[in-house]
Amino acid sequence: MTTFRHYRKIEIVASLVMWVITIGMGVYLAAMWSRIPDIVPTHYGLFGQPDAWGGKTSILGPFLVQVVVMLIDQVALHQAVKSTIKTGLPVMINRNCIVLTGPVIAVIFGWITVGTIGFGKLGKYFIAVAFVLVAVLMAVIVISQKHDAKRMEEFRNRTGYAKEKKRPVREDDTHGIPDMKFQGKVDLWARALVIFVNVMMLWAVFSSLNQGKESMIEIIIVLMVLVIVDLLMVPMCFRNYILLGEQELLIVFGLIKKRIRYSNIELLEETHNPLSSLAMSFDRIYVHTSSGDDVLVAVKEKKAFIEEVYRRAGIF
């Protein structure tokens, strides 16, 4: 209960909103179950019109996904709040991201349930609105990251945090130290997720093959999306490591590269925060920085990695 006392008002409101929507969908499903047709839409085209149908139990799918995502979001928020309490650092990007993610996903999945049951369609603007909501979420994350960097700088100047935790690292301290490579950790669930996404999207393609020429545009778009998704996700499983250089560490995560100077590192915190990150495992390390470059990573040799980064960063 102590952790809940540290929730900000916006976090309490966001949690209430996403759970009210989710529980409301459960009540709506239960109340409407006897009136739901035996055959309901199970797939929609680009403009929200149904193009595949199945038994009414299929409507439970989106709702169950919504419940699972809400649980993950709530756990992530709780972990983020605990991290703030533990470190004392004024870093809010994770918490701000989670605060928006939960209600947005609840609204999107909630409308899928209501649209399917009440109207038999999602509406031609559904996908456009969903993309706008996601774009706004991304913009807020970027803005939050910039604000975090400013807050961290003010915090350091006010408390002398960096001076207490770190000693000055001269170039001679790290000059000549060989680079070290730490292989990223990839859990079974991550590999299974890649396979699942491919199977589901290919199934959608094959199920549309016999629906005439009208479905060809949708098939092409789905295949293009699948290629893009695989180009992003597959390399994350095989090209995943962190290289420790003399003055900075280089995170290589699939096609993504991120550099963080040791002088900007404040703290490495072991965590299982499920928030989206440069990691394919929940056995993670939260890299707190003074530059707003905070990131979650996962490596196989976690203890050795933390010790080596601390040594190179001059953190006691």
Q: Which tens digits make up the pLDDT trace of 98-155?
A: 788 889 889 989 998 888 888 888 887 887 788 888 788 777 776 776 676 677 667 6
Q: Report the distance separating Cα 40 and Cα 33, nearest Å.
A: 12
Distance of CA 240 to the CA centre of its chain: 17
How would residue 1 be classed by pLDDT, with cut points 50, 70 and 90? low
Please provide the average confidence, as pLDDT, over all residues in the chain. Answer: 82
How would residue 221 be classed by pLDDT, with cut points 50, 70 and 90? confident
Q: Looking at residues 55-66, what average pLDDT do you find? A: 88
Residue 84 has pLDDT above 60, yes or no: yes
- The reported pTM is 0.66
Predicted pLDDT at 121: 82
CA triplet 116, 118, 119: central angle to 5 degrees? 70
- Contact between residue 256 and residue 278 where contact means Cβ atoms under 8 Å apart: yes
Residue 172 has pLDDT above 60, yes or no: no
Residue 223 has pLDDT above 80, yes or no: yes
Predicted pLDDT at 86: 73
Q: What is the dihedral of CA 84, 185, 274, 197, to 10 degrees?
A: 160
Burial (CB count within 10 angstroms: exposed 0-12, middle 13-18, buried 19+), residue 263: middle
Q: Report the distance separating Cα 89 and Cα 289, nearest Å.
A: 10
Predicted pLDDT at 202: 83
Q: Report the distance separating Cα 219 and Cα 83, nearest Å.
A: 44
Residue 96 has pLDDT above 60, yes or no: yes
Which residue carries 């098939």 as its tokens? 219
Predicted pLDDT at 272: 80
Sign of CA dihedral 189, 195, 199, 200: positive
Q: Looking at residues 191-212, what average pLDDT do you find? A: 78
Query: Directed axis angle between helix 9-32 and helix 60-87, to 10°?
Result: 160
Q: Report the distance separating Cα 246 and Cα 107, nearest Å.
A: 47
Predicted pLDDT at 128: 79
Residue 170 has pLDDT above 60, yes or no: no
Residue 216 has pLDDT above 80, yes or no: no
Fold (CATH) for 161-313:
PH-domain like (2.30.29)
Predicted pLDDT at 61: 87
Q: Looking at residues 2-11, what average pLDDT do you find? A: 82
For 34-48, 54-68, 106-120, 243-257, which range has the lowest pLDDT when averaged over its residues? Answer: 34-48
Q: Looking at residues 35-51, what average pLDDT do you find? A: 80
For 245, phi then psi, to 5°, come to -95, -165
Highest mean pLDDT of the ranges 81-90, 248-257, 262-271: 248-257
How would residue 298 be classed by pLDDT, with cut points 50, 70 and 90? very high
Residue 265 has pLDDT above 80, yes or no: yes
